[in-house]
């Protein structure tokens, strides 16, 4: 496992401090082992990337994506790198999180049950 640089730690802390409203909403449901007892971390460094939310024990990453991620080749490269490292990735559009947080959490729960 790659070492986490001080710069990456600082960036992750800044992202936690300045999270988006959608990330705040999703975090309310993921924190404190509320999803089947699984522990999630916010803005978790997985060098060279930082995942929005990660369940390390299940190797599951949950990403909350805005419009800037539509057809992003950077996201495809990032996802492939993380999958090659053994991570599973769920991506949700911000609008879906806002409209149906319960459905999003149910999908995360289902994925955790598969792991």
All structural domains of the chain with their residue ranges: 6-114
Between CA 20 and CA 94 the distance in angstroms is 10
Domain 6-114 architecture: 3-Layer(aba) Sandwich (3.40)
Residues 42-59: pLDDT tens digits?
999 999 999 999 999 999
- pLDDT per residue over 49-105, tens digit each? 999 999 999 999 999 998 665 566 888 999 999 999 999 999 999 999 999 999 999
pTM above 0.75, yes or no: yes
């Amino acid at each position: 496992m790659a070492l986490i640089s001080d710069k990456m730690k600082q960036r992750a802390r800044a992202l936690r401090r300045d999270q988006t409203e959608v990330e705040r909403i999703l975090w309310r449901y993921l924190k404190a082992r509320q999803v089947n007892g699984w522990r999630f971390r916010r803005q978790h460094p997985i060098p060279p990337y930082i995942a929005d939310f990660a369940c390390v024990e299940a190797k599951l990453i949950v990403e909350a994506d805005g419009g800037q991620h539509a057809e992003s080749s950077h996201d495809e490269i990032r996802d492939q790198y993380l999958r090659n490292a053994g991570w599973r990735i769920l991506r949700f559009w911000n609008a879906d999180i806002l409209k149906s947080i319960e459905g999003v959490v149910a999908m995360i729960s289902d994925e955790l049950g598969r792991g």
